[in-house]
Amino acid sequence: MSNFLVDISDLCVFATGIQYLNVFYVNYFIPVLFTNNRRYKNVMKKIFTMAMMLMMAVVAFAQEKDYSEMTDQEFFMGEWVLSIEGLPTGDTEMLLTITTNEEGAFVGTIGAEEMPEKIKLDEIQFEDGNLTVTFTGQGFVVPISLDRKDDGTVEGAMNDMFDITGKRPVKKEENPS
């Protein structure tokens, strides 16, 4: 699995840049190779070389998201797909969502993605790279503890018994047709 975060818009920009470079190459650079004007040839070769070096520099310095610089609140905010293993009913995935309300307090929900009504979180605590949330499920208070990892994922446990791994959900493209 790649550590680079690639957005579809980045790919479109890159493809558009390649397209324009190709048009430049075919329309301007190739004809220069067959002209007798030496000065024109040298100028076009320098422009093409600089454009290629610029493109290589952009690709070489592309960086992945640095999660180590984020605060715990920034890191854990948003949606997480949690894979919970070892439950009596079998392994399952749940969607954990943490946001802020109008007063700036942290609020959240947890539940399976197909559940129409998510369970509201009772308590949310951030502490030293750790997120602890509690919710009430079937009359029991259920604690979940998650530790942040440098690659942007989380690991932890539910009820200190069931292992959890988590990652950000992959955004699905909506089909307009």
Which residues are 124's β-sheet partners? 133
Tokens describing residue 55: 């493109």
Per-residue pLDDT, 143: 94
Q: 150: pLDDT confidence band, cut at 50, 70 and 90?
A: confident
Q: What is the pLDDT of residues 97-125, one digit of tens each?
A: 999 888 888 999 998 877 778 899 999 99
pLDDT grade, residue 174 (50/70/90)?
A: low
pLDDT at 46 over 70: yes
Q: What does the pLDDT read at residue 9?
A: 47
Q: Between 8-24 and 38-60, two packed helices, what is the crossing angle to 10 degrees? A: 170
How far apart are alpha carbons 59 and 149 in whole angstroms?
Answer: 26
Q: What phi-psi label fits residue 37: left (phi over 0), alpha (psi between -120 and 50 degrees) or beta? A: beta
Which domains does the chain show, CATH number per domain? 8-60 (no CATH), 68-167 (2.40.128.120)
Summarize the confidence of residues 22-49 as an average pLDDT: 67
Q: Does residue 62 or residue 72 have the better pLDDT?
A: 72
Section 53-68 average pLDDT: 70
Residues 7-31 have a mean pLDDT of 56
Query: Which residues neighbour 165 within 8 Å (Cβ) at sequence distance 6 or greater?
Result: 82, 83, 85, 153, 154, 155
Q: How confident is the model at residue 11 (pLDDT cuts 50, 70, 90)?
A: very low
Percent of the chain residues past pLDDT 90, beyond the cut: 25
Phi and psi, residue 116, nearest 5°: -70, -35
Please give the pLDDT value at position 82. 92
pTM of the complete model beyond 0.85: no
pLDDT score of 121: 92
